[in-house]
Structures are given as C-alpha cells and as structure tokens.
Chain A
Amino acid sequence: MNTKQQLKEGLITNNPVLVQQIGLCATMAITTSLFNGLGMGLSVLIILTCCNVVVAAIRKFIPEQVRLAIFVVVIAGFVTIVDLLLQAFIPALSDALGVFIPLIVVNCIIIGRAEAFSSKNTVMASLKDGVFQGLGYTMVLVVMCLVRELLGAGTIGGGLLNGAASFITLDGTGAGIRVFSEEFGASALLLPFGGFLTLGLLLAAMQAMLNKSAEKKAVKEKEDKE
C-alpha cells in the first residue's frame, strides 16, 4: 500500500469520523473553540501513532485470545503519558478538555486501528496509518470548531489566536479573531445541541458527496461500455 493512497484513506475515503463513524463522543463534546479542537486532535494523533507503532512491533508475539487486553494496556499507557505532559506543559488545554483526555483510552479510533490495521501490517505502514488517520480526525475536529465557533460566538480561533495581531497563545486566553458581534451569534451552537446538529449535518454532507461521486462513476462506466 503506498503513502498517497493511505493519505487519501485517512483524510477522505476512510475518514475515522465521517466514514467509519467512530470516536464521536469527543468530536461533539470539545469542539467549541479552535484551541480545544486542535489540542484534542493532535493528542489523538500522537497517541494513535505511538500505539500503532508499538502494536505493529509486537504483533507477532501477541497471543490471539488476549490481544484486546494488551491493546488497551498499551493505549492506556500512552494516554497517561500525554495526559501528564499536558498537565505539566499546557495546563489550560488540560483544564479545557478535562475528562476527555483520559477518555481517549476508550476512543474506538485507536483500538479500531490497532485491531484492523497495525496488528496486521509493518511498523512503517502503521506509523503512516497513525499519522494520516490522526490527521483525518484532526481535520474533522477543526471543521466542527470553525463552524460552531464562527456561527455560535462570531470568532475564529478562540483560545489560540489573540485578536488582530493573530498572536498565537498556548494559555487558552486568546480571544480569537472577531468576525461579528457576539450578540448576533447563535449561542445554542456552542451547547450540546450544536454538537449533535453540526456533526449530523457534516455526516450528511459527506454522504451526499460520496453518493454523488459514486453516481458519477456509475454513469462514466456506463458510457465507457456504450
């Protein structure tokens, strides 16, 4: 399997959230500002890549019956490392994501990739798979954040960017770039309701796109035959 194909799979055709439809809890819960979304996405990317590499490296020594337990212990180890690192170096992010960082342990994306990909492939392929699937996840989180934050609060990049100077801050205090006044925002989009609605519409948009491209392909094949 070549790199380009793997990249396309991770970002679009086999995107963890939009196509495999797993790991939805955090996707809806923390996407209220770009700071949270990027932080969560990158944390998952790092943990997923590390777990993929370790699982691929030890895949030949894992007995079939206890493989899930071993995967979970590997994942829980890396999640604890990332959790402690965030608490030490980016406490604002750790506070904002709260219980959702330790909950990456039960994020289906990571155990799903361990089971479906890295337990069957080489270390190098698994490394790439981890990075690309992680990027696909981060991409969805960022899109969700942009939509919810812009329509809900009228800003872009809340917590991360600081006003007109676009100065990047890591302490979560950046106000974001204001596009319109807060009183015109649909603040319900920042509440749980907005999480469900935005993800639902995003999934529908993705399906519409996939349906369309499948239709196009079918028409083209038909034309080719004729």
Chain B
Amino acid sequence: MLASLVSISLGAILVNNFIFSQFLGICPFLGCSNKMSTATGMSVAVIFVMTMASAICWVINTYLLIPLELAFMQTVAYILVIAVLVQFVEMFLKKMIPSLYSAMGIFLPLITTNCAVLGVVLLNTQNNYNFLESTVYGFTGGIGFALAIILFASVRERLEFADYPKAFEGFAIGLVSAALFALAFMGFSGMKIL
C-alpha cells in the first residue's frame, strides 16, 4: 500500500510531471509565471483544488455515477463538481482569509478551466485508483504543478533582461525555455520506481 503511494507520488511530481511530460495545465503555466508572487499564489490554489476535486469526484463516481449506471456522464459531472468547488473555495477564502483571496484575484475562478484539474480527475478514473490513491495523486500532482511553475517563474524573471530576437517575444521564448526544462525532466523518466 505504502509502496504504491510512494510510487504514485514520485511519478506525479517528477517522472510524469503534469506540465513537462503530460502537457496538462499549460495555459496557467504560461499565463501566471511572469512573477514569482502570482506563481506561488496560483500553485497553492491549484494544489488545494486538485486534492479536493480528486477526493470529491472519486466519491461521486463510486457512489453515484456507477451504481446509477451513469458512467458516460463522467465528464459533465466532473466539470460541474470542479466549477462548484472553485466557487466554494472562492466564497470561503473571501469570508475567512480575505488577504489570500485578494492576492489570488482573477486566478481563482480561472482554475475551473485548468486542464490539470480535470485531467487529474479523469486519470484517477482511468487508472482505477482507490480513494486514498486518488487523493494522493491529486495532491502530489498539484505539487508537481507547483514545482514546475515556480521553477519556470524564476527563469522568466531573468528572461526579462535577456537579449533574444524580436520574433520570440512573449510566449515563444517561454515555450523554448520550457522545452529545455522538459529536456531536464526527461532525465527522470529513466528512473525505475519499485
């Protein structure tokens, strides 16, 4: 049990990193990595939503959709759960921790359309993970996302002062630097876990 949890965690953080090897969550990864502070805020919110969404969607899938033979409605059900969850988190933060709420700003509602969140839930279902495995996969997947976006934000802050051809302005140079990151993360794929 523990061994499988460790292998899921290491896989989600390094070997199959959501951004550098599975291409999930590229939009916020490029959109929110201009500054370190927004990158950190985004990571915290994504870790929270991914963990909660994995747990809740597992319960809904196992105790609602499968007994009612509505498994074909999974995508619709999951996206609604995520939308409600994000809305709920937003209301909770606004009431309880207003400072964090204002720091996150627009990024909070945008998590609904972050494909890493829907992706992790769909992968949980596809891999037949149990409740604990799903939650751990959601949490560590979020950590992997955070690792990628924070590493990338620190590079991008330096890119501001770099001298590159004019045509590469904006996303283009970002993607080329992300390619080098992906190359580095490829090294982990040789790692054999248990």
- In the assembled complex, the Cα of A22 lies from the Cα of B114 at a distance in Å of 12
Residues of B within 8 A of A205 (CB): 167
Residues of A within 8 A of B91 (CB): none
Residues of B within 8 A of A218 (CB): none
- In the assembled complex, the Cα of A21 lies from the Cα of B173 at a distance in Å of 13
> Which of A99-107, A135-143, A170-178 interfaces with chain B?
A99-107
Does A46 sit at the interface, judged by CB under 8 A?
A: no
User: From DSSP, what is the main secondary structure of chain B's interface residues?
Assistant: helix
> Which of B72-80, B98-106, B129-137 interfaces with chain A?
B72-80
Q: CB within 8 A of B179: which of A29, A73, A193?
A: A193
- In the assembled complex, the Cα of A196 lies from the Cα of B83 at a distance in Å of 29
Q: Which of B112, B123, B166, B172 has the most CB of A within 10 A?
A: B172
Are A105 and B118 also in contact (CB < 8 A) when A84-B72, A195-B23, A207-B169 are?
yes
- In the assembled complex, the Cα of A30 lies from the Cα of B169 at a distance in Å of 25
A200 nearest CB across to chain B (Å): 3
- In the assembled complex, the Cα of A72 lies from the Cα of B87 at a distance in Å of 15
Instruction: Fill in one digit per residue for B159-174: 1 if any A CB lies within 8 Å of its CB, else 0.
Output: 0000001111111111
Does B175 sit at the interface, judged by CB under 8 A?
A: yes
B83 nearest CB across to chain A (Å): 7
Are A102 and B75 also in contact (CB < 8 A) when A25-B23, A72-B83, A192-B21 are?
yes
- In the assembled complex, the Cα of A22 lies from the Cα of B21 at a distance in Å of 19
Does A199 sit at the interface, judged by CB under 8 A?
A: yes
Residues of A within 8 A of B118 (CB): 102-103, 105-106
8 A/B residue pairs, CB under 8 Å, sorted by A? A73-B76, A102-B122, A107-B115, A108-B113, A192-B22, A207-B166, A207-B167, A211-B167
